[in-house]
Amino acid sequence: MKITFYGGAGGVTGSKHLVEMAGKRILLDCGFFQGHRREARELNMKLPFDPVSVDAVVLSHAHLDHCGMLPMMVKGGFKGNVYATAGTRDVAEWIMKDAAHVQTQDAEHLRRQRSQGASLAEPLYTFDDIEQTLTRFVEVPYARNTGEWFDVQVGANGRSPVQLKFYDAGHILGSAVTVLEGRMESNRTECLVYTGDLGRRGAPLIPDPEYVHESADVLLSESTYGDRVHADFARAKERLKTVILDTLSRQGKLIVPAFALGRTQELLYLLHRLTDEKEIPRIPVFVDSPLADRITEVYKNHTDDFDNETWAEFGARGDEPLVFRNLTLVKTVEESKRLNDMLGSFLVIAGSGMCEHGRIQHHLARAISDPRNTVLITGFQAVDTLGRRLVEGERRVRIYDGFYDVRARIEKLNELSAHADRDELLDYAEHVRGLKNIFLVHGEHAQAMGLKTLLEEKHKEWKVQIPERDQMFMV
Ligand SMILES: [Zn+2]
C-alpha cells in the first residue's frame, strides 16, 4: 500500500492521509490547517491533490482540523462518499457551518482593510457547498454494535475490494479508530489502523478507547502528547471545585474560555456532578456560545454513545448529564452583554477557547481587571493568542482595541486533555496484533520524537517513522 501524508504530519493540524490500497484511493480525514492566520489560509486555499481522483473519504471525528476541508473536496469535484459515525456526521455539520461563518467574517474584515486586491478575501466555501457535502455522508456504526465490515465505495458488482470498521476512539462524541482492509487480486489482504485522535481512559461522558481486534501491518498513530504523562482525570474535578470555591470566597465571577466541541460538554458534566454532590453551591452557570449550544444538543441526541459510568450515575435516575437547574444557555448577543451587569458570583463558559474571537472577549474585558474574579483556562493555548498571554502571566493585555490590566486570577485546568498520553499511546499500539510499521502523525516534533524513542525501545520489531508533510511511503 502507498500512504501520502498531506497534513497532520510534522504538526497537529490539517490531518489528511491518502491511502492507496487494493486499487482504491481513500482519504483519511480532510482537516483544516489552523494557527498563524496567513500561513493557515495559504495552506487551506487549495487541496494538495485532485479531489476527483479520490474514491472515498473516511472521517475519524468532527474537530475542524479533521473535517474542515471536506466542502473543498466536494467543491473540487470529488464524487465519492464520506464514511463517518452518526455522531461525527451530526457534529461535523455545525463545525463546517461555523467555519464558513468565520471565513465570511474574515473575508469582510480583509475587504475592509484593503481597498485593492479584494479577490484574496473570499470565503473558502459557502453553506451551499456544505449542504452538498452533507449529502455524501454514509453512516457507519461502531463495530461493537454489528461486528461487521462495511464496504467502502461499492463497485458495479455490488462489492468493494476495501472494507472498513470503526472502533470507539473515546476522544469526543462519534470519534472513531479506523480499520481499513484491502483485498488484492492475489487474494492477499493488507490492513491499516488509524487512531484518529485517541482519547484518555477514565474521561467523563465518552467511553474509553476500544482496542481493535484485527491484525494490521500498519498503524497511523496520533502523537499529540507522545512525550508526556497526564495527571489522573479525578484531579480535574477536585481542581475545578477548589477554583470555584476560592472564587466564591472572594465574591468573584468565573470566566471560562472553552472549546465548543468536547471541552464544554465535559465541563458541564463536571459542574452537574459537583453541584449534585453538594461539593459546590448551586451558582448560576451560563454557556454563552451558540455553537456550543448546538453541539451540546447533538450530544443529547446521541446519549447511546455515552459511557457506562455516566449511565450508571445519571440514566438510572432519569437525569440528563448535560442539563441542570442552574444552567442557562445564552442565545443572543444582547443576553450575553446583559451578563456584564449581573451582580453576584456566576460562571460563564464562552468561546473561543484561546480567547482570540467570540463572546469570551467582552467577558474578559469586563472581568479581567477585578482581583475578585478568576479566568479558568481549560485547554491548550497556541503561541500568539490572548489565552497564551494570560497563561504566561502577562500583566497587561490587549482586548479589542483597548488595554487592560490583568488583576483577576488566572488558573489552569490541564487535566481535561482529550488526548491519550505517552503510556496510553504505547498501550494502544501494543494491542494491535502483527504490527510492523508505525507512522506517528498529529504531533509537534518533540512529542512525536519522544514517542518514537519509547516505541523503538520497547519493540525492536517495529519500524517507527515520523512523516513530514507531503511525504509518501510504500509499505
Ligand atoms: Zn480532535
The CATH number given to whatever domain includes residue 330 is 3.40.50.10890
- pLDDT(38) > 90: no
Question: How large is the average pLDDT for residues 98-118?
Answer: 78
Residues 70 and 157 in one domain: yes
CB neighbours of residue 277 within 10 Å: 10
Please, which pLDDT band fits residue 319 given cuts at 50, 70 and 90? Answer: confident
Cα of 349 vs centre of ligand 1, distance in Å, is 20
Tens-place pLDDT, residues 368-412:
999 999 999 998 787 788 999 999 999 999 998 899 999 999 999
Mean pLDDT is lowest, of 157-171, 311-325, 420-434, for 311-325
Q: What pLDDT, on a 0 to 100 scale, did the predictor assign at position 121? A: 67
Residues 181 and 309 in one domain: no
Please, which pLDDT band fits residue 119 given cuts at 50, 70 and 90? Answer: low
Residues 207 and 239 in one domain: no
Mean pLDDT is lowest, of 95-104, 117-126, 169-178, for 117-126
Residues 222 and 255 in one domain: no
- Owner of C-alpha cell 443572543: 332
Cα of 84 vs centre of ligand 1, distance in Å, is 14
Residues 356 and 452 in one domain: no
Residues 443 and 455 in one domain: yes
Cα of 434 vs centre of ligand 1, distance in Å, is 27
Cα of 171 vs centre of ligand 1, distance in Å, is 7
Residues 312 and 431 in one domain: no
Sheet of 176-183: strand order equals 150-151, 162-168, 176-183, 189-194, 218-222, 437-441, 463-465
Residues 44 and 101 in one domain: yes
State which of 400, 416, 432 marks the end of a domain: 416
- pLDDT(116) > 60: no
Residues 109 and 56 in one domain: yes
Residues 111 and 242 in one domain: no
Q: What pLDDT, on a 0 to 100 scale, did the predictor assign at position 356? A: 85
Residues 196 and 257 in one domain: no
- pLDDT(72) > 90: yes
Give the CATH number, domain containing residue 455: 3.60.15.10
Residues 283 and 394 in one domain: yes
Cα of 114 vs centre of ligand 1, distance in Å, is 35
- Give the whole-angstrom CA distance, residue 24 versus residue 22: 6
C-alpha cell at 457: 525501545
Cα of 345 vs centre of ligand 1, distance in Å, is 33
Would you say 305 and 173 are in contact if contact means Cβ atoms under 8 Å apart? yes
Cα of 197 vs centre of ligand 1, distance in Å, is 5
- Give the whole-angstrom CA distance, residue 86 versus residue 90: 6
Per the structure, the count of domains in the chain is: 2
- Give the whole-angstrom CA distance, residue 422 versus residue 225: 6
Range of the domain at 436: 2-228+418-474
Cα of 63 vs centre of ligand 1, distance in Å, is 5
